[in-house]
Amino acid sequence: MSDENYPTFKDVVSAAEAIDGLAVKTPLLKCEHLSDMLDAEIYVKAECLQRVGAFKFRGAYNRLSRLNAEERNRGVVAYSSGNHAQGVAASAQILGINATIVMPEDSPKMKLENTRNYGAEVITYDRENESREEIANQISEERGCIVVPSFADFYIIAGQGTAALEAIEQANEKDVDFDLFMTPVGGGGLIAGCSLAVKELSPDTEIYGVEPEGFNDVQRSIETGTLVKNERASGSLCDAILTPVTEQMNYDIMAENLSGVLTVTDDQALSAMKYAWEKMKLVVEPGAAVALAAVLNGKIDVKGKNVCLVLSGGNVDEETFIRALES
Amino acid sequence: MSDENYPTFKDVVSAAEAIDGLAVKTPLLKCEHLSDMLDAEIYVKAECLQRVGAFKFRGAYNRLSRLNAEERNRGVVAYSSGNHAQGVAASAQILGINATIVMPEDSPKMKLENTRNYGAEVITYDRENESREEIANQISEERGCIVVPSFADFYIIAGQGTAALEAIEQANEKDVDFDLFMTPVGGGGLIAGCSLAVKELSPDTEIYGVEPEGFNDVQRSIETGTLVKNERASGSLCDAILTPVTEQMNYDIMAENLSGVLTVTDDQALSAMKYAWEKMKLVVEPGAAVALAAVLNGKIDVKGKNVCLVLSGGNVDEETFIRALES
């Protein structure tokens, strides 16, 4: 994993400087109810309160801010189920860059609308029968614009890692050392970046990722030592983390730094959303609630431990949110 | 207003010391969408993220922490529609004090359950036909316990004022001076306390309160120069701020420090809840959304101004929240 093209801790620090004043320093909130219930100290890093409603602004802005004037003039294209889309669109708007975003036609309405509202051109595709990479590459060729990957990218990974950098700084202010650091996992941009900060600043902290059942490409990739693709492209409520398969850069960083990957069901994600609504007063989307769901459902022993759970986003439609409240 | 029995700024500072490490330093969050929409800088002080899900912990803990050993042994009794109830119950639990809480039988289920879960004994009453003060006073006489008022109290007012003290400190860190500071108003504990901090630290900041239409006792009291009681005791979704009438201490402080009081309808409060859910990812209860509702509905001109809106709590039942999402 000593590839010099891979980001390291200093690149996370550099990303933190790049996004300073634009990204929200989201609060690290202790959940008293969950801490009492599990005899642990449970904190959440509330990335649902991030600009664009998800951590994705961190990586997207870091990536776009590194483009030179010529590259900015060419514009950017990205593919995303919705949160990276909004992160790229909002960052492009701030930097005055034209953005085209390729999104599944079944993305949550809110994510489609918000991406358009940040000034991006949205092109939809059929998740089951079309390749978003091919569409994005074709647009890139036709228009000369630059592809902004959603997770397999030096600056994207470094940018997402700032969430952990901040969380550890905030924990230090409370004299707390995390024993466990847990995040949702889609392509592995967030957890790979976070692991760079965690392993540098708090090497004894164990890092766990959480995926939806049936979409556990990272879990199976790490188990088998090779990239394993999900069998299905859709079929879970956790739209934000249904990436077909991780990529080598993310895989290598995760394989070195993660203690394990857990899975939860859609129903467990919905219950965790309701729990966050009731006990934390936070709006969390299904794919962003999976780390909380893993802890709520005893997928990992947290007794006596200091735990940080990343609630990675809150962009969810009314219908799905009501379904969670009625669960 | 020079009554020496009234709290002043130094009592707010003292309260901040009393609650330090127990109350949450809730984040001051900029709402980018609302700021862009209104050509202003709109910040929210997210007291829905406070311990017990509402600002009330601040005043309740400050009050109870001042009781001496003999008083603590006697226990406390409070009356409240639910948020003060939870604040007193949680504070009593931390301090090892027995608490009895008198609550309307039509309080939101969540507030009744939470209050019991903090270890308090809950006694319900009929909001239309019984007097909560009389019930509480009777319990106090029978059991020898100490009545903890919900808003007309030196330490309660000083404690609630810490929300503004923090908000101004947080704004200073961002080099922001507030032109406007707005909070929901029930009995006037929150806004009276906040006004002590605002007028000391930022004397040019205008302070506005917001009440539900038809329950505007403070607005009418300030207009007429005398305490005016609401005509009805119930009939609004804004259960947290349906106090029958403010009291002299709160009135005097408000009359001196407030620039005005606005009103909003229940439908406007529901729409503001949905807005906070969608754009801020925060869970806000009806009575806590009224200041945001006033701004969203153009009740006050905010163009070009730096505005702080207190979102005072998030304890709301599923049914009411779903109603907001469907609005």
Please name which of B260, B281, B263, B284 lies closest in space to residue B272, comparing C-alpha atoms: B284
Q: State mean pLDDT over A73-90.
A: 94
Domain boundary among B89, B120, B152: B152
Number of H helices, E strands in chain A: 15, 10
* Proportion of chain A above pLDDT 90, given as a percent: 91
Tell me the pLDDT tens digit for each residue of A221-254: 999 999 999 999 888 999 999 989 999 999 999 9
* Strand pairing report for B41-46 and B28-30: antiparallel
Q: Do B281 and B203 fall into the same domain?
A: yes
At residue A313 the predicted structure's pLDDT band, cuts being 50, 70 and 90, is very high
Q: Do A136 and A174 fall into the same domain?
A: no
Q: Do A209 and A233 fall into the same domain?
A: yes
Q: Do B290 and B220 fall into the same domain?
A: yes
Asked if A48's CB is within 8 angstroms of B27's CB, the reply is: no
pLDDT score for B132: 87
Q: Do B94 and B13 fall into the same domain?
A: no
pLDDT score for B2: 54
Q: State mean pLDDT over A207-226.
A: 97
**Total residue count of chain B as it appears in this document:** 327
* Proportion of chain B above pLDDT 70, given as a percent: 99
- Three-state SS at B83: helix
Tell me the pLDDT tens digit for each residue of B229-281: 999 988 899 999 998 999 999 999 999 999 999 999 999 999 999 999 999 99
Evaluate whether A62 touches A155 at the Cβ level (below 8 Å). yes
Q: Do B80 and B222 fall into the same domain?
A: no
User: What is the rounded average pLDDT for all residues in chain B?
Assistant: 96
With b for 16 or more beta-carbon neighbours within 10 A and e for fewer, the A167-183 pattern comes to bbebbeeeebebbbbbb
Please name which of A100, A105, A186 lies closest in space to residue A137, comparing C-alpha atoms: A100
Q: Which residue has the higher pLDDT, A239 or B183?
A: B183
pLDDT of B202 strictly over 80: yes
Q: State mean pLDDT over A173-192.
A: 97
Q: Is residue B181 part of a domain?
A: yes
Q: Is residue A134 part of a domain?
A: yes
- Cite the active site residues of B: 56, 312
How many domains is chain B built from? 2
* Nearest CA-CA distance, residue A322 and chain B, Å: 6
pLDDT score for A127: 83
CB contacts, 8 Å: A322 with chain B: 322, 325-326
CA distance A111 to A286: 14
Q: Do B175 and B234 fall into the same domain?
A: yes
Q: Do B214 and B298 fall into the same domain?
A: yes
Q: Which two tokens stand for residue B128?
A: 């239309």
CB < 8 Å & 24+ apart, contacts of A214-221 = A215/A241, A215/A242, A216/A261, A216/A263, A217/A243, A217/A244, A217/A245, A217/A246, A218/A185, A218/A188, A218/A246, A218/A251, A218/A254, A218/A261, A219/A261, A219/A262, A219/A263, A221/A245, A221/A246, A221/A251
CA-nearest residue to A277 within chain B is: B283
pLDDT of B220 strictly over 60: yes
Most confident of the following: A1-10, A50-59, A131-140: A50-59
For residue B314, give the nearest of A30, A281, A314 by CB distance.
Answer: A281
Q: State mean pLDDT over A92-119.
A: 94
* Proportion of chain B above pLDDT 90, given as a percent: 91
What distances in angstroms separate CA A89 from CA A29, A52, A98, A111, A240, one per listed residue? 28, 9, 8, 11, 16
Looking at residue A92, which CATH number applies to its domain? 3.40.50.1100
Tell me the pLDDT tens digit for each residue of B113-141: 999 999 999 999 998 888 888 999 999 99
At residue A2 the predicted structure's pLDDT band, cuts being 50, 70 and 90, is low
pLDDT score for A72: 97
* Strand pairing report for A41-46 and A76-79: unpaired
Q: Residue A251, Cα to own-chain centre: how many angstroms?
A: 15
Q: Is residue A211 part of a domain?
A: yes
Q: Is residue A76 part of a domain?
A: yes
Q: Which two tokens stand for residue B308?
A: 């702080």
* Nearest CA-CA distance, residue B95 and chain A, Å: 16
Q: Do A15 and A139 fall into the same domain?
A: no
Q: State mean pLDDT over A104-119.
A: 91
pLDDT of A98 strictly over 90: yes
Asked if B110's CB is within 8 angstroms of A278's CB, the reply is: yes
pLDDT score for A144: 94
Asked if B326's CB is within 8 angstroms of A325's CB, the reply is: no
* Nearest CA-CA distance, residue A137 and chain B, Å: 32
Question: pTM for the complete prediction?
Answer: 0.96
Please name which of B35, B31, B42, B27 lies closest in space to residue B307, comparing C-alpha atoms: B42
* Nearest CA-CA distance, residue A81 and chain B, Å: 18
Please name which of A180, A257, A176, A197 lies closest in space to residue A58, comparing C-alpha atoms: A197
Q: Which distant-in-sequence residues (6+ apart) come within 8 Å of A304 by Cβ?
A: A39, A40
pLDDT score for A71: 96
CA-nearest residue to A173 within chain B is: B21
Q: State mean pLDDT over A173-199.
A: 98
What distances in angstroms separate CA B119 from CA B68, B85, B115, B226, one per listed residue? 21, 11, 7, 39
User: Active site includes A279?
Assistant: no
- Three-state SS at A217: helix
pLDDT of A277 strictly over 70: yes
Q: Which distant-in-sequence residues (6+ apart) come within 8 Å of A209 by Cβ?
A: A182, A183, A184, A185, A188, A191, A218, A219, A254, A258, A260, A261, A262
**Farthest-apart Cα atoms in chain A, separation:** 57
pLDDT score for B69: 96
Q: Which residues pair with B209 in a beta bridge?
A: B183, B261
**Farthest-apart Cα atoms in chain B, separation:** 57
At residue A265 the predicted structure's pLDDT band, cuts being 50, 70 and 90, is very high
Q: Which distant-in-sequence residues (6+ apart) come within 8 Å of A144 by Cβ?
A: A74, A75
pLDDT of B1 strictly over 80: no
For residue B283, give the nearest of A29, A283, A326 by CB distance.
Answer: A283
CA distance B221 to A251: 66
Q: Do B227 and B120 fall into the same domain?
A: no
What is the residue whose two structure tokens read 């020898």? B144
Q: Which distant-in-sequence residues (6+ apart) come within 8 Å of B68 by Cβ?
A: none
Evaluate whether B106 touches B264 at the Cβ level (below 8 Å). no
CB atoms within 10 A of CB B121: 15
CB contacts, 8 Å: A53 with chain B: 281
pLDDT of A280 strictly over 90: yes
pLDDT score for B82: 86
Evaluate whether B113 touches B53 at the Cβ level (below 8 Å). no
Q: Is residue A119 part of a domain?
A: yes
pLDDT score for A316: 96
Q: Do B146 and B265 fall into the same domain?
A: no
pLDDT of A298 strictly over 60: yes
Q: Is residue B4 part of a domain?
A: no
Q: Do B101 and B185 fall into the same domain?
A: no
Domain boundary among B152, B183, B205: B152
Q: State mean pLDDT over A30-36.
A: 96
DSSP-derived secondary structure letter, A282: B
Q: State mean pLDDT over B63-92.
A: 95
CA-nearest residue to A20 within chain B is: B174
Q: Domain of B199?
A: 9-55+155-325
CA-nearest residue to B48 within chain A is: A281
- Three-state SS at A269: helix
Please name which of B302, B174, B150 lies closest in space to residue B240, comparing C-alpha atoms: B150
Domain boundary among B152, B182, B211: B152
Q: Is residue B142 part of a domain?
A: yes
CA distance B255 to B251: 6
